[in-house]
Structures are given as C-alpha cells and as structure tokens.
Structure 1
C-alpha cells in the first residue's frame, strides 16, 4: 500500500515551521523563543502550529527523526548493512562520501542543531548510527581481536568519537574540503592512522621528540 499523499499546503507549512525552528534555535537556543515567535517567523498563525504539533519539542523530534533516517539511509544499504567495500581500492568508502554529501545538503540544519547548539537528540542519534557503522566495518575488516592494537570496545569508542568530531569540525569550518576529499582522508586515517611511514623516532628506541 502506497503511503497517503500529504497535502502540499501541509508540506509547505511544515517546511516553514522547520526553517523557522532552525533559525531561532541557532540564534537563541530552543528555550529562547516562544511558539508565537516561531509562528511569526514562519509566517503562519499560532493556531496553525498547534494543528500540526503539540509543542516545539514535538516539531524538533519529528525533524531530527527524519534527519537521522536520511543519515542512516546514506550510510547503509536498504537491508541495514554497510555496502560491500574493497579496503585495498584506495578509494573512500562510498558510505563516507554519502554521509558528507548528506551533511552538505543539510548544512544550515546541522550547523544550527549540531555545531552551534549541539542538540542532544541529534548528536546522540548520530553517534548511535556511526557506532553501528564502525562496529560492523571493524568486524568485517578484522574479526580477530588478537590482531587489533587495542581492545575492541576501546577501538570502537576511539573511532566513533573521532568520526563524530571530524564531522562537527568540518561543518564548523564551513566544509573546507569537498565531500569526497574529506571522506578519503577519514578513510586513510581509519586504515593507516596518521602516518604514511613511521616517524624516525618510532624505531630509534629514544622515545618521541620532547619525550625525554
């Protein structure tokens, strides 16, 4: 059964309310404006707002839910699994490319709700999606714990935190690298770490520079 079509007028109202929500949240924080101010910014009546949503939190929850679903679709195949990937190809993981493309397409929203204000529902939801992706990718790439450089739970936490912070930094800096380029850099860091070759001090037995 096909989902029922939404009236274009309803779609327009919801779009206006979401845009106003993002703008006002970035400017003042979610608690810094009233429903009346939100309706005024969206150029709709206050009563119209309440025809669609119980309160601001309900509007925010709906929007974040849809954003996270879009993010999940970008990073996973329809069956819920990361797509097949040749780790020796030298190309960025297609899920990373789609991830950053999604972020770029929704830049204003993520800047307001993830960087400027870091709304917990969005940041925690993103972490959960990234955690699943990292866990499944790590299991595929190296299922043997003995061949990891740290305990699996530590490796997962380290990697997911790095991914999320890179995402936030990339948005905060106004996307200084193209989607494919930042995806490739993140892929290289995931597989090879920060060094293409070990630094000279690594095999000298003298400790790192400045380490005594």
Structure 2
C-alpha cells in the first residue's frame, strides 16, 4: 500500500513538473497560475496544495533540487587536472559528468535558460563555480597569477555557462563526449589555439 502511494506521489510530481515547464516555456513563470498547472497536469488543485504552496514555491523547489545535483558535481571539478586529459586527447571526466547531468534534466535547462526562463538560476551556478574556484582551486596559487585571479575566474565560469546554454538551446546536437573534449581543450589551450587545431 505504501509503495503504491509512493508511486502515485512520484507520478503526480512528474506530471506537475512537465506541466510547469511547458507553461513557463509558453508564457513565463509570472503568468502561470495553479489553475493552469493543474488543468495541464490533469490533477485537482487539492493535490497540488498537498505538495506546494503556490507556483513560485514549486519552481523554487524544483530549481533547488536541480541546483543541488549540479553543485555536487561542480565541487569535484579541478581545472589543474584538465592538462593531463587534454594532452591525451580525451575529455575531462568532470566535464562529461556535468554534461550528462544537464542532458538528464534537459527539459528543465531548456526552459530555465530559454527566453521565458529565469536568469537567477544561471547566476546562482556561476556564483557557486566562482566561489569554488576562488576558495578551493586557485586559493593557494595567487602568486602564480600575473593577471587578476577574479578576471580569470569570471572568464572560466562565463565561458562554461555560455557553452552549456548554447548546447541545450540548440537541441544538444553535439554528443556529450565530443563537447566535453572541446571544453577540455579550450580550458587547457584557450579559444584561439583550439580554433587553430580545428582548422
């Protein structure tokens, strides 16, 4: 009995997630009502209120879950490890993991990064990446940098977010391994050197 209730709950959340993302893509988060959502998901309003306070609460919780999953992968990234993979011509495993996670949640990322999405999510990811790089990766290497460290970090984080956004909004046509290898090379060699390789 408990298992059936759990399956029902998962199914309801799945239906609501699909409905929410469809509606946000169509008209933007601010215009989505509980009525829109429950009609699209074909569930009653009472069921919605068992799980969520309102539409913003639902989106906030969904974004929180996605962010937590991404955060656990981003904390494992270390740019200093990229060199060994780039020199072998293989993708950095951390990049593969992040891209696979994005692909598994493509419905969410396509909407949140799209024209009716929420820029706060990508800013949150960018801030977390910056914090991680600043505090844990480049913290002991300040003497090695002849260029301001915050600019280097801004470049790395913005480039990564830009690549993920471009990839997802263009239907993820490039395979994960291929894009991960491109990211590995571009982080190691820089964009102009990679452009020369690809000529």
Do both share a fold (TM > 0.5)? yes
Which residue does 1:210 correspond to in 2? Answer: none
Unaligned runs of 5+ in 2: none
Which residue does 1:63 correspond to in 2? Answer: 62
Aligned positions, number: 191
Which residue does 2:108 correspond to in 1? Answer: 109
Of 55-64 and 145-154, more deviation after overlay is shown by 145-154
Once superposed, what is the RMSD of the aligned Cα atoms? 2.8
* Cα displacement (A) at 1:73: 2.6
Which residue does 2:187 correspond to in 1? Answer: 190
1:175 to 147, 172, 178: 172
Structure with a larger share of its residues in helix: 2
Per the normalisation by structure 2, the TM-score is 0.83
Is 2:25–2:116's contact at 8 Å kept on the other side of the alignment?
yes
Question: Larger C-alpha radius of gyration, 1 or 2?
Answer: 1
Which residue does 1:16 correspond to in 2? Answer: 15
Unaligned runs of 5+ in 1: 200-212
Question: Within 2, Cα distance between the matches of 1:180 and 1:133?
Answer: 24
Per the normalisation by structure 1, the TM-score is 0.78
Q: Note the 1:71-110 alignment, pairs <5 A.
A: 71-77=70-76, 82=78, 85=81, 87-90=83-86, 91-110=90-109
Query: Which of the pair has the greater relative contact order for Cα pairs under 8 Å at 6+ separation?
Result: 2
Of 127-136 and 173-182, more deviation after overlay is shown by 127-136
| Structure 1 residues 197 and 162: alpha-carbon distance in aligned structure 2, compared to 1, 3 A threshold | closer
Question: Within 2, Cα distance between the matches of 1:27 and 1:153?
Answer: 37
Is 1:93–1:184's contact at 8 Å kept on the other side of the alignment?
yes
- Asked if residue 50 in structure 1 is aligned to residue 46 in structure 2, the reply is no
